[in-house]
């Protein structure tokens, strides 16, 4: 194989054969193909795309770059969920234990932040002692006894994806349908799940900005999944504003604890001068996706029945207890979850941004907020950057809110070591992302459609 020739072929818009794609992925995995050559391949693919056969071949090659997890010892229906990412999207932290409490086995192999979007693993690593890595036997034990496990991609599972995932994050090649498809499905197929519900984000805070783009991605993933023998359901959901009332790693964990413990329990979010907005959208989406998983896995005969079961398991505390079990099984402490104040890292310096004028909050440039979080340290500019779990934001208002000049919109939690110039630049960026107009505008539904 000559990697340069294959890169040139794709650059010129030609179709690569399954063997050529397999050879290239093997070279990337072994190191025979350098990172700069892999980056060139990613950029060529971003510009030229791939047809369905190439995308299926890329997925297969990435699966075969490592090992398959054998889940035959796990009893019960095995269904996972994946999101294409957004700002404030912490659904998996609630959904995995909730689905397990309803009778599913959820082998969630999650990722770190990608571009302007947060990562499930980064959020959970805010919890002291929690370990994203488990040996296969430990993973199987947790999955069998608890019913769910959220782990990072091991070195042996789709290692080609792990390499390409990190390169995509820093080479502006994230929003590419064949690369997204192969990345998602290679991990899910290799982890051994029987079914997958895909939460495909659409909007200004998503990688897919339009419903047309999202439908194309959804159909591609569905077709490739079918070829691979994986049951798959695609749900399009809105990402025109952050999901829930927090963004940033520790803050998102705290919001999830609030939902899992229920409305009657005292909030564990930090007490600021202004109350956070509602988490109803986060709760609603979690219940909707759980219902889809339960129907897909055969636990319930209909989505409506699944919704009813999920609601009851959330309200009776079953999901909260499963969450504690899962975190403890992966090295975390019950005490840190039940009494997180002062135990989970949280920046003490806060800055509240107000509306500045009267009107209606009609648009939030959600991607801009995501990049502001990256600048604050909640995400990575390059693959080697450390994450600061203590920084983030609490939202006080969301789309459709009527405001006056003094109305608080959000509170930033910032590292006190940040320079005044950087902080001013971040605040200016965030202010520019919050659009207030005299008249209200339609707000996109949370759940847009199912494919």
Is 175 annotated as catalytic?
no
Catalytic residue among 161, 258, 336, 388: 161
**What is the maximum alpha-carbon separation in the chain?**
64
Nearest CA to 80 out of 67, 64, 69 is that of: 69
Cα–Cα distance between 35 and 48 in angstroms, integer? Answer: 20
Q: Is 402 a catalytic residue?
A: no
Residue in 83, 108, 183, 279 annotated catalytic: 183
Active site residue 112: no
- CA–CA separation, 251 vs 320, rounded Å? 17
Q: Indicate if 161 belongs to the active site.
A: yes
Q: b/e for 350-384, b at 16 or more Cβ within 10 A? A: eeebbbeeebbbbbbbbbbbbbbbbbbbbbbeeee
Q: Write the DSSP assignment of 381-441 as a string of letters.
A: SSTTPPP-TT-EEEES--TT-EE-TT-EEEEEEE-TTS-HHHHHHHHHHHHHHEEEESS--
Q: Which residues pair with 117 in a beta bridge?
A: 114
Identify the bridge partners of residue 411 per DSSP, sorted by sequence position: 352, 394
Coil, helix or strand for 312?
A: helix
| Residue tagged 């927090």 (tokens) | 246
Task: Tell me the DSSP string of 112-139.
Answer: --BTTB--HHHHHTTSTT--S---HHHH
Compute the residue count for the chain.
451
CA 187 from chain centre, in angstroms, equals 14
Taking the CA atoms of 116, 120, 122 and 123 in sequence, report the sign of the dihedral they define.
Answer: positive
Candidate list 187, 313, 396, 398, residue with the active-site label: 187
Out of 90, 168, 261, 396, the active site residue is 168
First to last CA, the chain: 39
What does DSSP say about strands 408-414 and 349-354: parallel, antiparallel, or unpaired? antiparallel
For residues 313 and 259, is the Cβ–Cβ distance under 8 A? no
Q: Give yes or no: 48 in active site.
A: no
Residue whose C-alpha is closest to residue 284's, from 437, 410, 447: 447
Strands 359-364 and 402-403: antiparallel
CB 57 within 8 A of CB 23: no
Q: Are 234 and 222 in contact (CB under 8 A)?
A: yes
Among candidate residues 10, 60, 82, 201, the one labeled active-site is 82
Measured CA distances, 280 to 120, 221, 244, 317, 369 (Å): 20, 29, 7, 18, 20
Report, as residue numbers or ranges, the catalytic residues.
82, 161, 168, 183, 187
């Amino acid at each position: 194989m000559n990697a340069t020739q294959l890169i040139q072929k794709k650059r010129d818009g030609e179709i690569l054969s399954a063997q050529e794609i397999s050879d290239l992925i093997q070279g990337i995995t072994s190191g025979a193909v350098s990172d700069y050559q892999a980056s060139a391949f990613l950029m060529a693919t971003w510009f030229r795309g791939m047809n369905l056969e190439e995308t299926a071949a890329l997925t297969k090659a990435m699966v075969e770059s490592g090992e398959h997890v054998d889940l035959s010892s796990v009893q019960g229906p095995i269904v996972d969920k994946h999101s294409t990412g957004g700002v404030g999207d912490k659904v998996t932290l609630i959904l995995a234990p909730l689905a397990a409490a309803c009778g599913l086995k959820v082998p969630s192999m999650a990722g770190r932040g990608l571009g302007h979007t947060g990562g499930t693993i980064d959020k959970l690593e805010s919890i002291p002692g929690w370990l994203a890595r488990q040996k296969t036997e430990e993973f199987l034990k947790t999955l069998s006894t608890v019913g769910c496990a959220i782990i990072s991609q091991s070195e042996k599972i789709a290692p080609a994806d792990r390499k390409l995932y990190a390169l995509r994050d820093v080479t502006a090649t994230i929003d590419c349908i064949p690369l997204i498809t192969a990345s998602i499905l290679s991990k899910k197929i290799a982890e051994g799940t029987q079914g997958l519900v895909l939460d495909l984000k659409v909007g200004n805070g998503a990688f897919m900005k339009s419903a047309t783009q999202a439908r194309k991605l959804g159909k591609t993933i569905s077709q490739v999944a079918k070829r691979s023998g994986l049951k798959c359901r695609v749900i399009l959901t809105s990402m025109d504003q952050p999901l829930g009332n927090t963004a940033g790693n520790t803050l998102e964990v705290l919001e999830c604890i609030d939902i899992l413990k229920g409305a009657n329990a005292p909030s564990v979010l930090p007490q600021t001068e202004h109350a956070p907005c509602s988490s109803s959208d986060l709760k609603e989406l979690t219940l909707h996706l759980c219902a889809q998983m339960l129907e897909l896995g055969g636990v319930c005969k209909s989505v409506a029945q699944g919704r009813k079961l999920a609601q009851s398991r959330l309200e009776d505390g079953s999901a909260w207890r499963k969450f504690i079990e899962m975190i403890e099984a992966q090295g975390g402490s019950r005490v840190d979850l039940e009494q997180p104040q002062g135990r989970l890292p949280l920046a003490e310096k806060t800055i509240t941004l107000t509306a500045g004028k009267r009107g209606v909050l009609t648009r939030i440039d959600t991607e801009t907020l995501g990049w502001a979080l990256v600048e604050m340290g909640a995400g990575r500019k390059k693959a080697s950057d450390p994450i600061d779990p203590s920084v983030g934001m609490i939202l006080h208002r969301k789309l459709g809110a009527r405001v006056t000049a003094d109305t608080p919109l959000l509170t930033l939690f910032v590292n006190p070591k940040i320079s005044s110039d950087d902080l001013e630049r971040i605040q200016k960026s965030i202010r520019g992302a919050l659009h207030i107009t005299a008249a209200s505008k339609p707000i996109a539904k949370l759940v847009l459609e199912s494919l």
